[in-house]
Amino acid sequence: MKKIMSALTGLGLLALAPGANAVVIMDSTFANVDWTKTTLSISNATETATQSAAGGNPGSFRTMSHNFGSGIASLFIFHEYIGTGGTYDPGTSGAIASIDYSEDQKKLAGTGAVGAFVAIKQGGVIFKGPVLNFSNDTTWITASSMGLTATDFLDFTTSTFNPDFSAAGATISFGYGRANDTNRISPTTITHGIDNWTFTINQITIPEPGTLALFCFGLAGLGFARHRKAAA
């Protein structure tokens, strides 16, 4: 009887196991028409961004130059992917369990650190995610942040609320953030690149009818086994 109970319980656990469905949104060519940007904050600075045809990891990539005047200067820019298939609607495609993010990055010219962030937009609100370490190395490196949930993102303006990853949430678009703060005697420019930009959206899946029926059968069998044991 214990073997039967163990087997039935195993079937129930199997039915409850989360699915492994995932949707990937990525870009490794960075055509200019596929990207737009929003200036979130800026002072005594400008940014230019464009596709570079060669020198990526491999092939084409996106080049950004941050140009700062003398004295205190700063900027924070949200780069948003607007290419085909670049959004995700939790209402039609399923609630989000977590998000994995990765990008390749490279310092091209200039001195000073570059701030790199995971970033998304929902309902017209831009949300800033975790900071990524940006290397001053002149070779391509991969930076990533895995298993991100809604609580890992805060709205940029007030930092008081999170996006909605549930099935009731609005459509989400994806991008990345770049930031700098400097205080130089003379104007300076920091140039850097991004390639192989990737969001992996791990979905919360609902068991299919057959799997749900198997789970119910397991529960019914377990209840029957307990009843027989009590009656013995």
The boundaries of the domain holding residue 61 are 20-204
CATH number of the domain encompassing residue 35? 2.60.120
Q: What is the pLDDT of residue 15?
A: 36
231 or 80, greater pLDDT: 80
One domain for residues 5 and 29? no
User: Hey, what are 50's tokens?
Assistant: 């464009």
User: Hey, what are 52's tokens?
Assistant: 């570079």
Q: What is the pLDDT of residue 224?
A: 42
One domain for residues 54 and 123? yes
- Tell which phi-psi region holds residue 4, choosing left (phi > 0), alpha (psi between -120 and 50) or beta: alpha
- Per-residue pLDDT, averaged over 207-230, amounts to 48
DSSP classification of residue 150: G
Whether the pLDDT of residue 208 is over 70: the answer is no
One domain for residues 147 and 161? yes
Number of domains in the chain: 2
Tell me: the pLDDT tens digits for 70-102? 999 999 999 999 999 999 999 999 999 999 999
Q: Contact 97/144 with Cβ under 8 angstroms?
A: no
Tell me the C-alpha distance between 212 and 66, whole Å: 54
For residues 94, 95, 98 and 101, what is the CA-based torsion angle, rounded to 10 degrees?
Answer: 50
Per the confidence metrics, is the pTM higher than 0.85? no
One domain for residues 110 and 183? yes
Q: Which residues contact 167 (CB under 8 A, 6 or more apart)?
A: 90, 91, 94, 95
Q: How far is CA 119 from CA 79, 102, 108, 137, 176, in A?
A: 8, 12, 22, 23, 5
One domain for residues 8 and 37? no
One domain for residues 116 and 55? yes
Task: Give the pLDDT band (50/70/90) at residue 209.
Answer: low
One domain for residues 139 and 25? yes
Indicate the SS3 state at residue 218: helix
One domain for residues 142 and 171? yes
